[in-house]
Structures are given as C-alpha cells and as structure tokens.
Chains A and B, each alone.
Chain A
C-alpha cells in the first residue's frame, strides 16, 4: 500500500502543483473554475484514453510514438503558458489599474482562460495516464490486496491534491497587485522546464542531438527523486544531470517568452490615444 501511495503521490504532485498555480494565476476571472475544472476533467478522460492506447502509442512511428506524444503535449503547454504570459504583460497592468469595475471585468473576461485550462488538462493527462497504467498494472497482477491498492491510490491522490491546494493558498496570500507578477514569473520558469523536458524526450527518441550528456551533476546535492528536488523540478525545471540540448531549450524558451512579453508588453500610448479618438469620433 505504501509503495502505491508514494508512486501515485509522485505522479499526482506535478499535475496538482501546476493546477494550483494556474488557479492562482486566473484569480478574479469570472467562470475560471468552470474553465479549469473542464481542463482537469478532459485531462482525466484523456489520461484514461492514453493509458488504454498506450501500446498503440508506443508502437507508433517506429517505436518513438511515446516520446513524440509526450514532447508534443509538453510543447503545446509551453506555447499556452507563453501566450498567457504575453497576454498578461500586455493587459495585466490595465487590469490592475482599471478603476472602473465594469471595464476591469470586461478585460478580465477576455483573458485567454482556455490557455490555462489547456495547461491544467495537459498536466493531468500526462501524469494521470501514468497513474492509470500503474494502478491497472497492479490490479491486473493481483499481487497486493485490492483494498491496499485503492487505499494507497486514494491517499496518494489526496496528498498530491493537498500539495496543490497548499501552493494555491500560499499564492493567494500574496496581495493582488503582486500576485500576477509572481504567477507570471512562475509560469515563465515552468514553461522553460517543460520545454527542457520535451527536448529530453526528443533526445531519447534520437531526434535531437544531446550536445553533451550530463553537463553537470548535482544529484548528490539535490536528487530529483527527493521531494524538494521534485518541487524544484516542477517549479523551475530543475534537472540534476541535464543534457546540453535541454539547457538550449530551457534558455531559448526563457528568452523567447520574456522578449515577447517585453516587446508586445506595453501597448504604445500613441495608438491607444488614436483608438480612443477614433472611438469618440464614430460614436
């Protein structure tokens, strides 16, 4: 039962942390719970489907289907996180500064919630499919008692969700005017970490060159399998023994998203003025 608990907890933790952050990042947006819940529900459904077709996925594309699938959904999540951050850097300040409640709500409603919902769904899909495969495998083997498995699975799930709730509540304690810059930075690093993981899958499939294996080795200092190591892995993309190509993807993602946030970040005041003039002119 303990083994089941630990394995399920480890898988759930990553998804739960991301969902917690996504929820905090969408604070104050109407109907956000519906969006995120929809994302999680689709993630669970997808996880069952992916687990059910695991054999087919693995055998696809000459045996590298699993890697291609994982890399694709990771890169999709990276794009969604990046898009969310770029949108927020363009409108976040207006959002916070807009004195008129109605205006703020209209703007908040326009936030790309689908991006965050998709990220939550992908996180659940990725980790959930492994939980399903694992539990199914334990059940099929019939070794441990069914009760022990169910109890271990449920406790592992609860502990993982608890950790997600913990990070969510922790983030909510941050004053609203700082919250979005904190979640923005978190999301930026999560995106970079996911890109690095995606690159690792393409490296495993022999599609990308390694550009050096194990550029550094900090596994004796902080193992990725330890709880703090895993937390840092999710939040910052910490890798104890990264390949060169992972560093390239990590840095490139940081730089690209950050530059786009800066470049597209602030709507030029002149144009805004013209817009207003135009609007007044036509009305």
Chain B
C-alpha cells in the first residue's frame, strides 16, 4: 500500500516534470561573423535553452559577461547553454574570437 502511494507520488512528480523541464528554446546562428538574429527576446524569470549554431568555417567562442557564459563553438557545430532565469533588461553576448560579432539578449 505504502509502495503504491510512493509510486503514485513519484508518478505525479514525473508527470509534472516535463512541464518544468520543458525550457523555452532559442536558436541563434553565427553566419558571416554575425549573430542571426542579433537580438533575441526571452521571457523574464524563466530558464531558457540557447542553441548556438556556427555556420562559419571558423571557430567561435560564444561568450557573455552579462549573463556569464562561455563556450567554444566549432565550425559547423552547435552548442547548448542554459540561461536564466534573468531579470528584465538587455544582456550583451559576443564571439570572443571575433570582437565585432555581438548580439543582445533582451529579457522582458
């Protein structure tokens, strides 16, 4: 009986999990040393999964001081970073290997 209740509770938790783990997902491409799109809007107070796809022939390092992320992206490769939950505002990200390549994460 006890096992059943525990089982039921577990099922309930697992059932609720997808809703929690179902993070919003945003895809950013790096193309000709530009982020596409250059401005990404995400909701405030939510964890978001950022997927960065490098379509150039050069290695990039996706980095942000504002939301504290850094990850090397191979040519033709893609990376995933989790961001947030963040307070509303504009957060810059850039390609550490190509100083001119910048974009903004706008949290609303």
Question: Which positions in A face B, CB cutoff 8 Å?
Answer: 3, 6-7, 54-55, 58-59, 63-64, 66-67, 130, 133-134, 136-138, 140-141, 200, 203-206, 210, 213-214, 219, 223-225, 239-243
Contact = CB atoms under 8 A, between A and B. Distances in A.
A64 B67 CA distance: 18
Contacts of A134: 59, 61, 97
Contacts of B72: 54, 58, 66, 130, 133
B84 to A, nearest CB: 6
B25 interface: no
Interface of B: 47, 56-61, 65-72, 74-75, 77, 79-82, 84-87, 96-97, 99
A206 B79 contact: no
Given A7-B96, A137-B59, A138-B97, 12 more contacts: A6-B99, A54-B74, A55-B77, A67-B71, A130-B72, A141-B56, A204-B81, A206-B82, A213-B85, A214-B87, A219-B66, A224-B65
Contacts of A225: 65
B80 A63 contact: yes
B74 A58 contact: yes
Contacts of A242: 68
A214 B65 CA distance: 10
Main SS at interface, chain B? loop
Given A3-B99, A133-B72, A140 B58 contact: yes
A130 B71 contact: no
B59 A58 contact: no
A214 B88 CA distance: 12
